[in-house]
Amino acid sequence: MTPGPRKAAAYLGALAGLSLTLAACSSGADPAAYPEDDVEIVVPFAAGGPTDTVTRMIAEPMAQELGVQIVVQNVEGAGGTVAAGQVAAEDPDGYTVLMHHIGMSTAPALYGDALAYDPVADFRTVGLVTEVPMTIIARSDFEPDTLEDFVTYVQEHESEVTMATAGEGAASDLCGRLLTSALGVEVTVVPYDGTGPAMEDLVGKQVDFMCDQTTNTTTQITEGTVKAYAVTTPERIDALPDLPTTAEAGQPDIAVSVWHGLYVPAETPDEVVEKLTAALQTALADQSVIDQMAGLGTTPVEHDRATPEAHTELLTEQIATWSDVIGTQGG
Ligand code: ASP
């Protein structure tokens, strides 16, 4: 006997509900007992860069709070979108967590239908981590010494100048686009798997300039292995007090800071997300994390921003903002 259409629909609905429940439990994980095994945090850029640095800073205190090991895994490619797509498809059990930055909100406008995931529908937010200023830096022997000179030089030599980025949608790409479009120039973009390797080439004088987070540039600026022109915040920062702001150096439109947050796949149970949020909050209150971040020009977000609510609010607001900005630039 074949079931009538309504019965068939109810049966299919029940099956769909069952498969969702099974998906949540497919790794055999019991949310109440979480975590019972190592947790992996996926970094969407190469090791040694700013996203990797921030992740490794919080991994140890988070692991202590959770009572298990945290393994940091670098999955590079396509400005961070390869890793995000991979985590979206993982079991929703809290054992695979994504660290991502502002690129989570620029990707929909930049990649459109080619994006394999929806940053809002396919993830749950765990909490914001930090907001990091960016710096405009160049190889130590690049001719211009100030941002004003840099503007003139790049406008006169645009066909020769090279800019390092971590791929389309990366923060370095976003800041670089803002800068080159403000100057009305097109330079040659050299994409890397992350700004860790890009920084090696900048110090090695293989590429001319880059915009990158202070978490990857403060040491090199202080040691003089790169030349610094400006920081992209409204105020100067304590870690680099001599560095002018972009506004002071005549480029007020280059204002961007790079927020980071943690994500898990969409069907992850509440209990698991709550434990990850609590571990994140503990890590951000850890004095050694606060000190390490201060030394690299940033601070942990306040306690009430290391929450899914504050993180989701920022993510959705930023997706709308960047879709306007990138859309109007013809991104
Ligand atoms: N700072 C890089 C970016 O441009 C990413 C990284 O290597 O962490 O987004």
Q: What is the pLDDT of residues 179-229, one digit of tens each?
A: 999 999 999 999 999 999 999 999 999 999 999 999 999 999 999 999 999
pLDDT tens figures, 124-147: 999 999 999 999 999 999 999 999
Confidence of residue 27 (pLDDT cuts 50, 70, 90): low
Q: Is the CB of 197 under 6 A from ligand 1?
A: no
**How many Å lie between the centroid of ligand 1 and the Cα of residue 56?**
14
**How many Å lie between the centroid of ligand 1 and the Cα of residue 152?**
27
The pLDDT, as a whole number, for residue 326 is 80
- What span, in angstroms and rounded, lies between the C-alpha atoms of 79 and 56? 20
16, pLDDT greater than 90: no
The pLDDT, as a whole number, for residue 313 is 98
**How many Å lie between the centroid of ligand 1 and the Cα of residue 325?**
20
- What span, in angstroms and rounded, lies between the C-alpha atoms of 11 and 323? 40
The pLDDT, as a whole number, for residue 325 is 80
Q: Is the CB of 212 under 6 A from ligand 1?
A: yes
Structure tokens at 321: 């903002």
pLDDT tens figures, 31-47: 888 999 999 999 999 99
The proportion of the chain whose per-residue pLDDT surpasses 90, expressed as a percent, equals 83
Q: Is the CB of 55 under 6 A from ligand 1?
A: no
Q: Of all atoms in ligand 1, which is nearest to the CA of residue 53?
A: 8
What CATH number belongs to 133-231?
3.40.190.10
Using DSSP, state whether 90 is helix, strand or coil. Answer: coil
Q: Of all atoms in ligand 1, which is nearest to the CA of residue 173?
A: 4
The pLDDT, as a whole number, for residue 328 is 53
Using DSSP, state whether 62 is helix, strand or coil. Answer: helix
Confidence of residue 4 (pLDDT cuts 50, 70, 90): very low
Contacts of 115 (CB under 8 A, 6+ apart): 81, 85, 107, 108
Instruction: For the chain, give the mean pLDDT.
Output: 90
- What span, in angstroms and rounded, lies between the C-alpha atoms of 61 and 300? 13
Q: Of all atoms in ligand 1, which is nearest to the CA of residue 46?
A: 7
The pLDDT, as a whole number, for residue 2 is 32
- What span, in angstroms and rounded, lies between the C-alpha atoms of 267 and 123? 8
Structure tokens at 113: 């239908």
Contacts of 165 (CB under 8 A, 6+ apart): 172, 173, 176, 189, 190, 191, 192, 195, 198, 210
Q: Of all atoms in ligand 1, which is nearest to the CA of residue 101?
A: 9
Contacts of 132 (CB under 8 A, 6+ apart): 50, 54, 213, 214, 215, 257, 258, 259, 260, 297, 298
Q: Is the CB of 50 under 6 A from ligand 1?
A: yes
CA dihedral 107, 109, 113, 116 (to 10 degrees): 10
The pLDDT, as a whole number, for residue 1 is 30
The pLDDT, as a whole number, for residue 331 is 45
**How many Å lie between the centroid of ligand 1 and the Cα of residue 308?**
23
Q: Is the CB of 214 under 6 A from ligand 1?
A: no
Q: How many CB atoms lie within 10 A of CB 26?
A: 13
Contacts of 330 (CB under 8 A, 6+ apart): none
* Chain region(s) in the chain for CATH 3.40.190.150: 37-131+258-328
pLDDT tens figures, 96-123: 999 999 999 999 999 999 999 999 999 9
Nearest of 190, 191, 194, 210 to residue 138 by alpha carbon = 210
pLDDT tens figures, 63-94: 999 999 999 999 998 999 999 999 999 999 99
Nearest of 227, 230, 236 to residue 250 by alpha carbon = 230
Q: Is the CB of 51 under 6 A from ligand 1?
A: yes
**Closest residue by CA, ligand 1 atom 8:** 51
DSSP 269-288: -HHHHHHHHHHHHHHHT-HH
**Closest residue by CA, ligand 1 atom 5:** 194
Nearest of 190, 183, 154, 193 to residue 45 by alpha carbon = 193
The pLDDT, as a whole number, for residue 327 is 75
Domain 37-131+258-328 has CATH 3.30.465.10: no
Residue 166, beta-bridge partner list: none
The proportion of the chain whose per-residue pLDDT surpasses 70, expressed as a percent, equals 90
pLDDT tens figures, 240-283: 999 999 999 999 989 989 999 999 999 999 999 999 999 999 99
Q: Is the CB of 176 under 6 A from ligand 1?
A: no
The pLDDT, as a whole number, for residue 274 is 98
* Chain region(s) in the chain for CATH 3.40.190.10: 133-231
